[in-house]
Amino acid sequence: MLDYIRQSLDRIAAKDRRRVLRPAQLAGGGRIMRDGRELLDFSSNDYLGLARHPLLAERAADYARRLGAGAGASRLITGTSAEHEAVEARIAAFKGSEAALVMASGWQANAGIIPALANAAPNTAIFADELVHNSIHAGCRGAKADVHFYRHNDASDLQRLLNDHASKYDARIIITESVFSMDGDRADLAALNAIARKHDALLYVDEAHATGVLGKGGAGLTADNPGADIVMGTFSKAMGGFGAYVACSDLMRDYLINMCAGLIFSTATPPALLGAMDAALDIVPDMDAERAHLAELGEQLREGLNGMGFDTLGSTSQIVPLVVGPESDALALGQHLIERGIAALPIRPPTVPKGTSRIRLALRSTLESADVTKALEAIAEWKAA
């Protein structure tokens, strides 16, 4: 077995796809410490700069001091605390839903909820955008359901698939991200809501990269386009901490408590994380200025990259892909940027489709316009070399 493992790693390395772990530490002012150097940070998902916010750290520490380091059990045994229920009530108010559930992570939520939903009916079909996150693919693989992928952000292709297949099934689930994690573009939620209603389909929306950044009060794109039956989001990106949530109806919450293996068989979220969640929910709704600044940085970055002839894949968010194509080019550009004091790391297959290796530029509201200009200058230098 070890020989096969070595061969597998060798094949990955030959394709310029082998990864390694390297320590780093978020710093203030949109910076990050790595290998003893302070770099401009264009790779982290700390979109609003809350990961180092003193209120999150203080409340996390307070919850840990008062309630301990761990929850002690799964939610259905003795792991549910008054603090879990209080945070869930706040999430429901934030998202405008009847109810909410705290989950361990976005990956766990997607991988666990989707099979639970599919198993509710004897014959279920899933219709998912082809560029949904790996965790959604994992959930689809684990579901007892037929899975149909529609062309990315193509409502007409989804409509075609439903017209061809929907009547064969007892239940239908449509799954999308609201902001796509690798392309930075947005789903047409109004169109998806209409299609879901027309075909009596449940709509599942992953708001991991929209939560905190987009929508009224940072409540995500579903806040401006209500209608989804299940909305999953995370506290690990713009919200500055860790963990995930599901916003849904009381009926759906009750079902997931009873049928979602990821929730049932996992130890409950520890107190410190609940404290950070509670603090983030205090701060984020009032960060309109930071959200506006983040949007301006995105426009500046896209304009500069498009002016150099780079494809940014229709990005309209704080995630701006710089597509270069071959893995070797992405690695070379990433190394060039590191040498220029900029952490903007390469993304390669299988995370993105073959031939679309890229630098995924993730903006933080703690960056300044001059920082974006510096990054653009370094990219232009690489392109001209």
How far, in Å, CA of 300 to CA of 319, rounded? 12
Candidate list 199, 237, 293, 336, residue with the active-site label: 237
Residues 258 and 298 in one domain: no
- Over residues 332-346, the pLDDT tens digits come to 999 999 999 999 989
Q: Is residue 9 part of a domain?
A: no
Q: How confident is the model at residue 17 (pLDDT cuts 50, 70, 90)?
A: confident
Q: Does residue 209 have an active-site annotation?
A: yes
- Of 236, 260, 285, the last residue of a domain is 285
Find the domain containing 372 and state its range. 20-48+287-384
Residues 100 and 152 in one domain: yes
Average pLDDT score over residue span 83-105? 98
Residues 169 and 292 in one domain: no
Candidate list 38, 45, 311, 374, residue with the active-site label: 45
Candidate list 209, 266, 290, 371, residue with the active-site label: 209
Q: What would the two tokens of residue 228 be?
A: 């989804």
* pLDDT higher than threshold 90 for residue 16: no
How far, in Å, CA of 32 to CA of 264, rounded? 37
Residues 319 and 233 in one domain: no
What's the structural domain count of the chain? 2
Q: What is the CATH number of the domain that holds 194?
A: 3.40.640.10
How far, in Å, CA of 256 to CA of 113, rounded? 7
- Mean of all residue pLDDT scores within the chain: 97
Residues 6+ apart with CB under 8 A from 253: 98, 99, 100, 101, 246
Amino acid at 342: I
Q: Half-sphere exposure (CA, 13 Å, Cβ side) for 205?
A: 28
How far, in Å, CA of 361 to CA of 262, rounded? 31
Q: Does residue 137 have an active-site annotation?
A: no
Candidate list 41, 88, 206, 207, residue with the active-site label: 206
Residues 228 and 315 in one domain: no
Residues 6+ apart with CB under 8 A from 289: none
Amino acid at 225: N
CB-based contact 129:153 (threshold 8 Å): yes
pLDDT at res. 235: 98
Residues 134 and 256 in one domain: yes
Residues 231 and 302 in one domain: no
Q: Does residue 156 have an active-site annotation?
A: no
- Over residues 43-80, the pLDDT tens digits come to 999 999 999 999 999 999 999 999 999 999 999 999 99
Average pLDDT score over residue span 236-261? 98
Q: Does residue 177 have an active-site annotation?
A: yes
**Helices 327-339 + 369-384 axis angle, to 10:** 130
- Over residues 257-298, the pLDDT tens digits come to 999 999 999 999 999 999 999 999 999 999 999 999 999 999
pLDDT at res. 140: 97
Q: How confident is the model at residue 131 (pLDDT cuts 50, 70, 90)?
A: very high
Residues 293 and 189 in one domain: no
Q: Which long-range CB contacts under 8 A does 64-71 form with residues at least 24 apart? A: 64/270, 64/271, 64/272, 64/275, 66/271, 67/271, 68/271, 69/270, 69/271, 69/272, 70/267, 70/270, 70/271, 71/267, 71/268, 71/269, 71/270, 71/271
Q: Does residue 206 have an active-site annotation?
A: yes
Residues 244 and 100 in one domain: yes
DSSP of 13-56: HHTT-------EEEETTTEEEETTEEEEE-S---TTS-TT-HHH
Q: Is residue 4 part of a domain?
A: no
Q: How confident is the model at residue 188 (pLDDT cuts 50, 70, 90)?
A: very high
Q: Is residue 113 part of a domain?
A: yes
Q: Does residue 88 have an active-site annotation?
A: no
